[in-house]
Each structure stands twice: as C-alpha cells, then as structure tokens.
C-alpha cells in the first residue's frame, strides 16, 4: 500500500512543479513496473486519475485533484533523485513517500528583493533581444520592477492572484505609453512585451501543442484553452493601460526602435540568464546548464531563421535545445526540464499571440490575423523540433533497466 501511495504522491508532486501530463503519466507508469505494481494513469492540467494495485489484484481507482504549478527546477531535480533511489532499492517506498512530501512541503526558494532584481533584469534583457534600444531597455526594466511588485503583493494576498497577469499588463502598458510621450523616442510595444515576458504563457501554449501531438488530447485541449484565456485577459489589461495613458497624456508618438549591436545582445542574454535562474528556482549547480540552454536556443533560432525564415527557424532552435536536454538527462540522470524549459522560453510564441489580440482591440482585425497564424506556425515548428530531437537523441528511460527487474516492494 505504501508503494502505491509513493507513486501517487510522486505524480502529484511532478504535476505541482510544472511537468506536462504525458511526463507525469510516463513516470508513474515506469515506477509502478519497477515496484511490481500494475497501474494505469490519466493526467490532465487539473486532475490525475489512477487505477493502481499489486500485480494480479483488482486495482484501486483514485482521483487526485491538482492545480497547474510553477516551474521549480531545483525541487524537480530533487524529486528525480528520490524516484531513482527508491526504484534502485536504496530507499524504501515509505521513506521515499516522506521524502516527496518533504520536497512539496518545502517553500520554494525565493527572496522578494531577488525576485524584484530578476524581473528588472528580465525586462531589460528581453528588450535588447527583441530588437529594442537603450530607452526601451530602461523602460522595460522599470516596468519589470512593477510586475515584480505586483507578484509579491499577490503572494501575500491570494485573492489578487486571479487578476495578477491582467493588472500587471495594465500597469506595464500605462508606464510604457507614458514613457513614450514623456521621453521620446521609445517604442512602447517592445518595452511592454519585454517587461511582461516572464508572464507570457507561451511555454504553456507549446506544451499544449506537444501534448496534442503525442495524442494526449484531453490535457492538450484543456491547456490550450487555458492559455488562450490567459492571453485574452493580458490583452485586455494592455488595452486598458494604453487607453488610460492616452487619456492622461495624449497619444504616444510612433517611434522606430534602434537595434543595438551584438555585444549588447550578449549582455541581454546574460541578464535573462540571471533572471531565469532566479525565477525558475534553479540551483546554482543547474545555473551553467540554464545558460547553455539559452545560448543554444537563441543561437539555433538565429541560425535557423537565416536558413528557413523566422517561423520555421524556431524548429532548429527547439531541436538543438531538446537534443541538449536529452543528452544532459542521459548523462547526469537529471530532469530534461533543467535545459529544455529555459531554452524554450526565448522561443515560445506567446508574444505573437498577445500582439495579435492587442492589435484586434484597436479594431484592426485584418492586421491581427497574421499574428495568430504566426503564433501557430512558430508553436508547431517548436513542437516539430522537440519531436525530431526525441528521435535523434532519445530521452532516457524513466527508470533504469536494472531497476525494472527488482521484485515487488510493497
């Protein structure tokens, strides 16, 4: 019975720390086989259905309610280590169950001032990578600090969490539009997108497409609709911020961004590296891999864009990131998400979808449609890259072969 509880709690913990539905199911199924159990699992973004029991016995059906969680790379790596120790027999399922619960109970590593600095760095760095100049970077850094302040307030007042994204977008759009009037020339759209880059649900959108591509239709459809709902509320927030700024200061002048040189792009990538290490709750041992993932994804996408165009170029970046992630997972028995998540964050198409929705708010539906199609194309290209990488560099088995031959451990 304890072995069953261990498998169920492990699945719940992986879901809470940002794992996609198919990864949760595969891990629970592999652990069952290693522990001499029979199980069948069905994971969605809000629930895990399990039929699990000893081999040859009638399985017990369990429904576990879950909520989509934030990415926490350090605690996810701790879960993988616990899983491996249990299936190798170094820890009993009872001890493993306690270890998993301890990981879940531990508060996510975080510091309000460090989060504030990370959001500021993410805004400035993303503005440079998005093609902005020094003024856009400065405005995005200031607006990013406002996003961090709203996030800190939302953690202290849970009711604020439901409107966090929309409120942050409203404040950021207002600040960017006001800066464009008071401190021209500032390209407000670049500053706005850069400041909210950490809030964009592009990774969830890509995960939804990946789940659909591996025929996990229920989870993929639910996650896709949730992503679109978040994008819509964020677009409404940006629209309100723009309108309020226009009423207060007048229309913002249109300014062409001045792209900075390659050296500034390197500094922007470094700023985003620091931000992602902090915001993804990576350990400092994982930090070099986060940097390698971001450089691989950014460089691969740039190279692919030169060969195939901007939309299909994302396929090259995603393939490079996923291949590196699988190599890291195979060689170090670490979660592939340590590399895959930060590497894909610079590729995901959330900004395209948000740009399309904010353009539609102006009534220009003809101009907004291309953004939606580009979002789908970029998302599909990323998923294709992930699937190709899985063939070229197969991911490791969830449970090592020698562990699969262990007798039942109840």
What pLDDT shows up at residue 378?
Answer: 84
Supply φ then ψ for residue 184, to 5 degrees: -70, 160
Q: Could you say which residues of the chain have pLDDT below 70?
A: 107-110, 348-357, 360-365, 397-410
As to burial, measured by CB atoms within 10 angstroms (0-12 exposed, 13-18 middle, 19+ buried), residue 204 is buried
Supply φ then ψ for residue 78, to 5 degrees: -65, -40
Instruction: Compute the distance between CA of residue 56 and CA of residue 46 in angstroms, rounded to an integer.
Output: 30
Evaluate if pTM is beyond 0.85.
yes
Cα–Cα separations (whole angstroms), residue 328 to 79, 87, 314, 357:
17, 21, 21, 37
Closest CA to 74 of 292, 276, 286, 274: 286
State the DSSP string of 69-104. Answer: ----HHHHHHHHHHHHHHHTTSS-HHHHHHHHHHHH
Instruction: Compute the distance between CA of residue 107 and CA of residue 84 in angstroms, rounded to an integer.
Output: 23
Categorise residue 319: left if φ over 0, alpha if ψ from -120 to 50, beta otherwise: alpha
Q: Are 141 and 120 in contact (CB under 8 A)?
A: yes
What pLDDT shows up at residue 57?
Answer: 83
Cα–Cα separations (whole angstroms), residue 287 to 114, 204, 270, 283, 284:
15, 22, 12, 6, 5
The b/e string for 339-356 (b: 16+ C-beta within 10 A; e otherwise) is: bbbbbbbbbbbbbbbbbb
Token pair, residue 98, equals: 């306690």
- Per residue in 43-72, pLDDT (tens digit) is 999 999 999 988 878 888 999 988 877 788
Token pair, residue 385, equals: 């890259």
């Amino acid at each position: 019975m304890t072995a069953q509880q261990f498998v169920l709690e492990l699945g719940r913990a992986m879901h809470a720390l940002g794992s996609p539905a198919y990864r949760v199911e595969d891990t629970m199924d592999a652990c069952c086989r290693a522990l001499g159990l029979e199980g069948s699992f069905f994971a969605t973004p809000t629930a895990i259905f399990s039929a699990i029991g000893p081999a040859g016995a009638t399985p017990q059906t369990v429904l576990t309610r879950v909520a989509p969680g934030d990415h926490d790379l350090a605690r996810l790596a701790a879960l993988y280590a616990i899983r491996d120790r249990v299936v190798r027999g170094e820890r009993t399922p009872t001890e493993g169950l306690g270890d998993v619960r301890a990981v879940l109970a531990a508060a996510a590593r975080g510091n309000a001032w460090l989060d504030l600095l990370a959001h500021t760095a993410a805004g400035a760095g993303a503005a440079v990578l998005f093609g902005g100049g020094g003024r856009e970077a400065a405005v995005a850094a200031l607006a990013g600090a406002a996003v961090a302040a709203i996030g800190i307030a939302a953690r202290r007042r849970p009711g604020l969490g439901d409107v966090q994204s929309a409120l942050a977008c409203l404040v950021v759009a207002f600040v960017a539009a006001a800066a464009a009037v008071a401190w021209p020339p500032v390209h407000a759209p670049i500053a706005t997108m850069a400041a909210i880059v950490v809030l964009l649900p592009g990774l969830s959108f890509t995960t939804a497409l990946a789940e659909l591509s591996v025929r996990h239709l229920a989870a993929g459809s639910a996650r896709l609709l949730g992503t679109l709902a978040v994008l819509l509320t964020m677009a409404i927030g940006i629209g309100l911020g723009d309108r309020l700024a226009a009423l207060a200061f007048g229309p913002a002048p249109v300014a062409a961004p001045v792209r900075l040189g390659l050296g500034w792009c390197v500094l922007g990538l470094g700023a985003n590296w620091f931000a992602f290490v902090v915001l993804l709750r990576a350990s400092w041992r994982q930090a070099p891999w986060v940097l390698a993932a971001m450089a691989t994804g950014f460089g691969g996408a740039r190279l692919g864009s030169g060969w195939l165009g901007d939309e299909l170029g994302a396929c090259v970046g995603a393939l490079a990131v996923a291949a590196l992630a699988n190599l890291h997972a195979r060689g170090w028995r670490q979660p592939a998400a340590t590399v895959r998540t930060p590497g894909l964050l610079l590729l995901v198409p959330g900004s395209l979808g948000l740009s399309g929705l904010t353009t539609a708010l102006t009534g220009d539906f003809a101009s907004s449609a291309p953004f939606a199609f580009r979002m789908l194309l970029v998302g599909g290209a990323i998923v294709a890259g992930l699937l190709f990488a899985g063939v070229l560099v197969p991911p490791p088995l969830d449970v090592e072969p020698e562990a699969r031959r262990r007798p039942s451990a109840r």
